[in-house]
Structure 1
Amino acid sequence: MNRFFPWGFLSVTALVFLAIFVAYPILGVLFRSFIGENGAFSLDGFETFLTRGKYLEALMNTVILGLIVTLTCTILGVFLAFVVARYDIPFANIVLLLPLSVLIIPELISAQSWVMVFGNNGLITNLFKALGLPFPRFYGWFGLIYVMTLTYYVHVFLAALAALRGFDHSLEEAGQSLGTAPFTTYFRVVFPTILPAVLASGLIVFTLVIGNFAISIALAQRVPLLSVMTYRSFISELGGNPTMQSTLATVSILLVSGVLFLQKRYLSKRNYQMVAGRSTPRIKLRGWKALLISGGAGLIIVLSLMPALVVLMGSFTVSRGPVMYWGQFTLEHYVRIWDFNLAVIGNSLKFASLATGLGVCFATLVSYLLVKKRSVFSPVLDYLLLLPLTISGTVLGIALAQGFNSGPIVLSGGLLMVLAMMVRRLPFGVRNASSNLHNISNSIEEASVSLGVPPVRTFFNVVLPLMAPGIAAAAILTWVTTVAELSASVVIYQAGQETLPIQIFRLISSDLMARASAFGVINMFIILVPVFFGIKVMKVRLFSS
């Protein structure tokens, strides 16, 4: 029994928690998709899905959108990574802000900002109208591809940049010494080496696109998409038979799971390593090449950071209903928040704090159990931790709402909100918390135990302080993503539990963009403060893992 306590017991406890709050609701969704209106086994849901054109159209649109955005993100990300890694451009340091822009600017706010610029009542749209010029409709395919590309290309950029910086320049020189032209060498030597990293990040982009809710609900007015249809099915059938909403959720789960399986299978067969490589020297560009390449990279950076500026300006702009009077400034929107909507800010802070605290504690424990105290329970624990990655936030919200609205465990309200926020980010929290565990020698812990210090006290006194950088990164990233969480919380929230993203979503749906901008600025500020404190004060490396 002494060998079982404490780590075996804690592993079982973690397994029970994940089984109840992750596996059970997800399996419940899958099970309910095979139950008909009479409560018996039925394939009616899948038959309806396959025979009604709107469902197949939504599935096809989702896959096509995922493929197109993955392609555009790959082109944009690889281009920018190649420019930063190979050329000495004047604003290279600003590129370091790009990963932070993804954290600081939530997806919903990004979509909102571009609607304020190119939407039906947008700044550029009205400018073209005033000049008597036609302007293409932003809603639909163009808007979806445009906004999602600028939101997700950073994932490919980071992967490609890391691969290019780790590339051994001597291989490239060897190819050119054999008479191969530099351009040909890039495609025959350099790009095949970085291809696994690019494809892996591209598959991540694909899963993010097909599971996206915030941008899709804002821009896909005439383009049926699976995530939006799943949400609307749940809202319209709330209290009725859940077969169709469960079927849509099941299709989403199978789609994402299939992509993740392909990613894992591909990466297991292709792995390149550089040993003692020599980094590639950066080239100073001149003339028209410098203007073209630097201008292209600069435009990408400006467009990536522009949503924050647009939302900031919009929050101080006078508005009457949906009409915004650009150039006329006011503090009215912030005064209104102070007088009537402080509870919304309080809800965001309360739910995000609880989800972050509980999530980081659980992630820290599980990462230690998986890295340092592996047992017969570890493979199952590993598998259960992957389940939140196989579902979108909307599906997770539906799974939790269906799973705990009746039965032995009934949860609702704020507790369910915190649970959804916590579970959704667990895989990323575990990954960050364990980022430096592999570098901690087991001999340090063994020495403490050999001196008579109990294992649990050794963990708190010796191991935990060494894990601090990874835990801090996990806490910041968990906080940032929970404060911006919309897709799961919008499904399960109740009256009086609105958070900042939910309030922004409701205002955008009512075309009250200026008021939504004020909430958006507050949301970004709440996100930015811990990120700035972690990077500048605590010297946390958020993207080291």
Structure 2
Amino acid sequence: MGRNRKIDVWTFVSLGLLLLFGLFLIYPLVNLLRESVYSNGAFTLDAFRKFFSKSYYYGSILNSAKIALTVTVVSLLLGIPFAYFYSFFRMKGKKFLFVLVLLSTMSAPFIGAYSWILLMGNSGLITNFLKTLGLPSFSIYGFGGIVLVQSLKLFPLVVIYMNGAFRDIDNSLLEAAESMNCSGVKRFFKVIMSLTMPTILAAALLVFMRSFADFGTPVLIGRGYSTFPVLIYNQYLGENGADYHFASAISVIAVVVTAVIFIIQKVSTNKFKFTISALHPVQPKETKGIRGILMHVFTYFLVSIAMLPQLYVINMSFRNYNNSILRPGYSLINYQKAMEKNLIRSITNTLSISFITLAVIILIAVLIAYLVVRRSNLMNNTIDVISMLPYIMPGGVIGIALIISFSKSPFYLTGTIMIMVIALAIRRMPFTSRSATAAMMKISESIEEAALSLGASKFTAFTKITIPMMSSGIISGAVLSWVSVITEMSSGVILYNNRTITLTLSTYAAINNGTYGVAAVFATITTIFTVICLALYLKLTKMEDVRL
């Protein structure tokens, strides 16, 4: 049927989107690949040979994979029981607990790393306290620290995913299992885990990808433990200037590695693919006795530890003394210093870049959703696949690709707000496009046909009928995209300059300069924006099984 459709406005929309993605995604990636195999105009694989000839380079892949795998396992071990207790039992303060879980996962990843430096760094609050007691302290630097910070940041993603999966389980299946003497722990592993395996794999992939691509945490607390994203950034800068050739080769390897991981997950998920409908949803039970106490202790202690870094950073932004809450003195001195360090410019840039990016994301995501669902054909499905490519790419890869492509005429964009918007829109498009597509699938095509039969044009039916009906999906995806945009660091750290600096990048710069109080101010304001996003999300969606 797609071949019989007449050329109309939607055909030109498809061609326009294809052109946009071709110019700002495919063209940069092709240039990245070309830069990796060409040096001084000659084809060469010397950059790849250099990478695989030194353990320092190829070892970074193994380090990142080791961290990501460990973080994934830890996040699943923490998140699945948390979600199980939350979904199957009546927890005290359930709504409050859910808000804390969302807030934990919506904050910027590097803020957690920075906070734990203040708490457990060489002169951290907890470190000094343990020293006074003569007790050994845990070093936040290196492999263990990265795993701790990332696990506390990412386990809430597992909670959110599994909460939705547990709510989809039909209670009659659990009752049938119990009638066959399959109850308690046995029922959990044999029935509940089997029914939610597709979601477990999806959550595991998301955690793995985010951990693998995280730049902020390892660059702050890695201390010599080299990871792939940090290696890409360091080699891009180079000791003697930007080394695009070698940085491009590493970036290509990064894309290949993440693509392989993504394919493995997809193949694994297909083996567990099935449909489940909760005609009789699980009714939460009362928590009684010691079991109830342990459930509450586990969930509230875990989310408190996850929230501790953010609360401590906010406190430190008002302190007169770095790394101490034991000495007296609260003031706005750090905020005054931040005003001298581009605070207003950082806020202005953050808001302007994020809102422009969000507008671009919403517009394109809605168009993609309509094309994929209502006008499915080879070209539109190709657009959908291309738009999802950044999902498996570290931010640094996209940043380097854009610099290589747009640092000379006729497309000189390096150092401008526009290139920041392009990078962020490309990276965060999948969040909103998936959410919008899911919302579009729930809208019956007969509703639009009824509008057409009453004399409305296709464009009018789309703008007046379809978009309002899919607004909840658009809003939920857009809010989550906006949070990820204002907390983005891995691509921005490559693309920014003093004129385009944002709150997250100002935080990073302040930490590098050792002005921790000023860094706390930038991080606090970023957290405030995150809380505002969360409040909007909860008010507009009223859902607890969000998809990030």
State the TM bucket, normalised to the shorter chain. Answer: over 0.9
Does the alignment pair 1:305 with 2:307?
yes
In structure 1, which of residues 517, 521, 543 is the aligned counterpart of residue 520 of structure 2? 517
Q: How does 1:99-498 map to 2 (within 5 A)?
A: 99-102=101-104, 104-180=106-182, 182-236=184-238, 240-319=242-321, 326-338=327-339, 340-341=341-342, 342-406=344-408, 408-412=410-414, 413-498=416-501
Deviation at 1:324, TM superposition (A): 7.7
Q: When the two structures are aligned, how many residues end up with a matched partner?
A: 542
8 Å contact from structure 2 (residues 171, 278) kept in 1: no
For structure 1, which segment, 132-141 or 383-392, has the greater mean C-alpha deviation from structure 2 after superposition?
Answer: 132-141
In structure 2, distance between residues paired with 1:99 and 1:290: 19
Give the conservation status (yes or no) of the 8 Å contact 1:397–1:491. yes
SS at match of 2:329: strand
The amino acid of 1:94's aligned partner reads: F
Amino acid at match of 1:460: T
Question: Which structure 2 residue ranges, 5 or more long, are not aligned?
Answer: none
Report if the CA contact (8 A) 2:105-2:153 is conserved: no
Q: Give the corresponding residue for 1:30.
A: 33
More moved, 440-449 vs 384-393:
440-449
Cα deviation per residue 1:280-336 (whole Å; 9 max; x = unaligned)?
Answer: 44343444333333211221111122222111101111136x888754311111123
Give the distance between the partners of 1:146 and 1:197, measured in 2 at CA. 23
Name the counterpart of 2:21. Answer: 18
Is the alpha carbon distance of 1:98 and 1:268 closer, same or farther for their aligned partners in structure 2, counting shifts above 3 Å?
Answer: farther
Q: Pick closer, same or farther for the CA change 1:473–1:326 going to 2, 3 Å.
A: farther
Q: 25-34 vs 46-55, which deviates more?
A: 25-34
Give the residue type in structure 2 aligned to 1:395.
Answer: V
Shift of 1:540: 5.9
- 2:104–2:307 Cα contact (<8 Å) kept: no
Tell me the amino acid that sits aligned with residue 42 of structure 1: T
Could you list the per-position Cα deviations for residues 334-369 of structure 1 after superposition, in whole angstroms to 9, with x for gaps in the alignment? 123345531121111111111111221121222111
**Separation (CA, whole Å) in 2 of partners of 1:231 and 1:238:** 14
Shift of 1:466: 1.9
* 1:450 aligned partner, one-letter code: S
Q: Which structure 1 segments of 5+ residues have no match? A: none
CA contact (8 A) 1:103 1:481 kept: no
Q: CA 1:99 to 1:325, structure 2 compared with 1: closer, same or farther past 3 Å? A: closer
Q: Distance in 1 between matches of 2:104 and 2:138?
A: 27
Task: For 1:255 and 1:84, locate their aligned partners in 2 and report how far apart those are by CA, in whole Å.
Answer: 35
**1:122 shift after superposition:** 1.1
| Cα separation, 2, equivalents of 1:147 and 1:388 | 24
1:501/1:38 CA distance change after superposition, 3 Å: same
8 Å Cα contact 1:364/1:430 also seen in 2: yes
Distance in 1 (CA, whole Å) between partners of 2:327 and 2:361 is: 42
Structure 2 Cα separation of the partners of residues 80 and 183 of structure 1: 15
- How far off is 1:67 after superposition? 0.9
- CA distance in structure 2 between the aligned counterparts of 1:292 and 1:354, rounded to whole angstroms: 46
Deviation at residue 65 of structure 1 after TM alignment: 0.8
* 75-84 or 363-372, larger mean C-alpha shift: 363-372
Q: Is the 8 A contact 1:98 1:154 kept in 2?
A: no
Please tell me whether residue 505 in structure 1 is matched to residue 501 in structure 2.
no
> How does the TM-score come out when normalised to structure 1?
0.94
* Kept in 1: contact 2:399–2:494 (CA 8 A): yes
Cα distance in 1, alignment partners of residues 530 and 183 from structure 2: 47
- SS of residue paired to 2:470: helix
Q: Cα RMSD between the aligned structures?
A: 2.2
CA distance in 2, matches of 1:263, 1:517: 38
Q: Hey, what's the Cα distance between the residues in 1 that align with 2:371 and 2:495?
A: 32
Question: Quick one: distance in 2 between partners of 1:288 and 1:99?
Answer: 24
Indicate if the aligned counterparts of 1:8 and 1:375 stay in contact, CA closer than 8 A.
no
In structure 1, give the amino acid aligned to 2:399: G
Amino acid at match of 1:304: A
Percent sequence identity is 27
SS in 2 for 1:461: helix
Q: d(CA) in 1 for partners of 2:298 and 2:393?
A: 35
Q: In the TM superposition, what is the alpha-carbon distance from 1:458 to its structure 2 partner?
A: 2.4
Is the Cα–Cα contact under 8 Å of residues 123 and 326 in structure 1 kept in the other structure?
Answer: no
| Partner Cα distance (1:230, 1:197) in 2 | 31
Deviation of 1:84 (Å)? 1.4
- The amino acid that maps onto 2:10 is W
